[in-house]
């Protein structure tokens, strides 16, 4: 019994040390969140872009996206907008065509967005190889007018892949959509922005990114097989010592799920993809960290650990409970140990809520419309723990359609801020 008690105590102490080290690393990297990097050198429009939109049953929103793209502050002769309908049962193709997009029908089996992108790049490199870069969007996005001009600057400055700033186009619909907005704002300000100052890589987050044609050709095209092609491609870039540039002036707006169940399914897919990437690329990242002392790969490896660390965060409390059950100490001490997890939870909720308040204040000022989301945000984050636990035992390997219905236009979005 004494040996088992000692093991539980050692386990709780060891896990706490790991979690503290993980947290301190991320806090240290995030320190320069308030520092703005110096403006990049600007270039006259010269790069030719193909804008790619994978679309499945997006009839209600794809037209607004195409409209925002065709209104770019960039010479019209230097970019083309392609919509790639796949597995559609509605008139996505017709809506995109009427809005002014070119149509590229995906005639290969599609199980995820990565399959669509693989098909698209194979087509362009064999039949239309005259683009300098490709910009990727989801059909529910809206795009700020300066997006392509900003990507022209970074491409001319030597960037090979770049991520724009992701925002939400429906932050005030529900507490859930508001939580997504806070999450995006927090990720931009405390993850991508500081890493750009440290010389590390931003993370591609699904849409609003640009990749050079030269890099894709070197990589033999776009080849991903996890549920999160964006994170997998980021990892592939890190293994090639290619940094994802952070371009906050290139803004895109994403439609967030309004209900908890669709949000659960979407985040379950994200967690599955992270775990798949950790399993598939973790050994490769560790090998490059040891062999080449790659800080880029170390940072990406730590990012991929996020689901595992969230699950580990509940184990010290479990170890403490086991210690109480096995310990012959006084009842008062046992009560104190039993209460400690609840005190830790209260502190975590308080810090999470404070972080949400600070993030909203930094991004939107005193916006009382975000009050519901601020109060809900701690639950939004904590609900990721059961999602991650579930994904460890039953991964979400089938892409689940998320309905998008907020067909608002960019002008309406700007007016509502």
**pLDDT band (50, 70, 90) for residue 6:** low
**Residue 27: how many CA atoms within 13 Å on its side-chain side?**
7
**pLDDT score, position 400:** 63
pLDDT value for 386:
93
Enumerate the H helices of 330-370 as residue ranges.
Answer: 331-364
Spatial CA neighbour of 142 closest among 11, 251, 57: 251
Report the predicted TM-score, pTM, of the whole model to 2 decimal places.
0.90
In this prediction, residue 412 carries a pLDDT of 73
Which segments of 293-305 does DSSP mark as H helices, in order?
295-304
Domain boundaries, the chain: 2-29+311-393, 39-259
What pLDDT shows up at residue 411? 74
- Using one digit for the tens of pLDDT, what is the confidence trace for 152-205? 999 999 999 999 999 999 999 999 999 999 999 999 999 999 999 999 999 998
CA 280 to chain CA mean position, Å: 19
pLDDT (tens digit per residue) in 116-142: 999 999 999 999 899 999 999 999 999
The per-residue pLDDT for 319 is: 66
Judged against a pLDDT cut of 90, whether residue 380 lies above it is answered with yes
First to last CA, the chain: 62
Worst-scoring range by mean pLDDT, 31-35, 228-232, 317-321, 376-380?
317-321
* Model confidence at 278: pLDDT above 90: yes
The architecture that CATH gives domain 39-259 is Alpha-Beta Complex (3.90)
What is the pLDDT at residue 320?
65
The reported pLDDT for the residue numbered 158 is 95
Backbone angles phi, psi at 311, to 5 degrees: -65, -45
Does pLDDT of 80 surpass 80? Answer: yes
Q: What is the mean pLDDT of residues 46-69?
A: 94
- Name which residue leads in pLDDT, 371 or 109: 371
Please report the DSSP string for 360-378 in residue order: HHHHHSS-GGGHHHHHHHH
The predicted pLDDT at position 295 comes to 95
Residue 398 has pLDDT above 90, yes or no: no
User: Which of 76-80, 84-88, 162-166 is predicted with the least confidence, judged by mean pLDDT?
Assistant: 84-88
Which pLDDT score, from 0 to 100, does residue 87 have?
A: 82
């Amino acid at each position: 019994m004494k040996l088992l008690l000692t093991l539980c105590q050692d386990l709780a102490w060891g896990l706490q040390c790991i979690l503290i080290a993980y947290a301190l690393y991320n806090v240290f990297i995030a320190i320069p969140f308030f520092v703005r990097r110096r403006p990049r050198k600007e270039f006259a429009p010269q790069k030719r872009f193909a804008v790619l939109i994978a679309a499945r049953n997006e009839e209600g929103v794809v037209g607004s996206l195409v409209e925002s793209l065709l209104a770019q502050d960039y010479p019209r002769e230097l970019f083309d907008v392609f919509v790639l309908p796949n597995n559609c049962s509605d008139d996505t193709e017709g809506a995109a065509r009427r809005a002014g997009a070119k149509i590229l029908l995906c005639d290969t089996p599609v199980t995820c967005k990565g399959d669509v992108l693989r098909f698209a790049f194979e087509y362009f490199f064999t039949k239309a190889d005259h683009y300098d870069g490709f910009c990727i969007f989801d059909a529910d996005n809206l795009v700020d007018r300066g997006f392509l001009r900003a990507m022209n600057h970074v491409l001319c400055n030597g960037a090979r892949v770049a991520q724009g700033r992701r925002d939400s186009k429906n932050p005030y619909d529900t507490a859930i959509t508001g939580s997504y907005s806070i999450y995006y704002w927090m990720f931009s300000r405390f993850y991508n922005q500081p890493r750009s100052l440290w010389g590390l890589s931003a993370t591609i987050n699904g849409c609003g990114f640009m990749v050079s044609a030269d890099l894709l050709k070197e990589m033999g095209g776009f080849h991903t097989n996890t549920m999160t092609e964006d994170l997998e491609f980021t990892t592939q870039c890190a293994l090639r010592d290619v940094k994802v540039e952070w371009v906050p002036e290139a803004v895109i707006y994403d439609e967030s799920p309004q209900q908890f169940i669709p949000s659960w399914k979407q985040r379950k897919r994200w967690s599955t993809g992270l775990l798949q990437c950790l399993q598939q690329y973790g050994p490769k990242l560790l090998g490059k960290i040891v062999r080449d002392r790659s800080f880029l790969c170390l940072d990406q490896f730590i990012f991929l650990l996020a689901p595992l660390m969230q699950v580990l965060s509940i184990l010290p409390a479990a170890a403490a409970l086991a210690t109480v059950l096995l310990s012959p100490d006084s009842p008062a001490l046992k009560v104190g140990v039993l209460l400690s997890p609840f005190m830790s939870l209260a502190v975590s909720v308080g810090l999470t809520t404070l972080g949400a308040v600070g993030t909203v204040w930094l991004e939107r000022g005193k916006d009382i419309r975000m009050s519901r989301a601020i109060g809900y945000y701690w639950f939004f984050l904590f609900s990721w723990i059961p999602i991650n636990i579930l994904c460890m035992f039953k991964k979400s390997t089938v892409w689940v359609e998320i309905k998008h219905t907020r067909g608002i236009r960019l002008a309406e979005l700007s007016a509502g801020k």
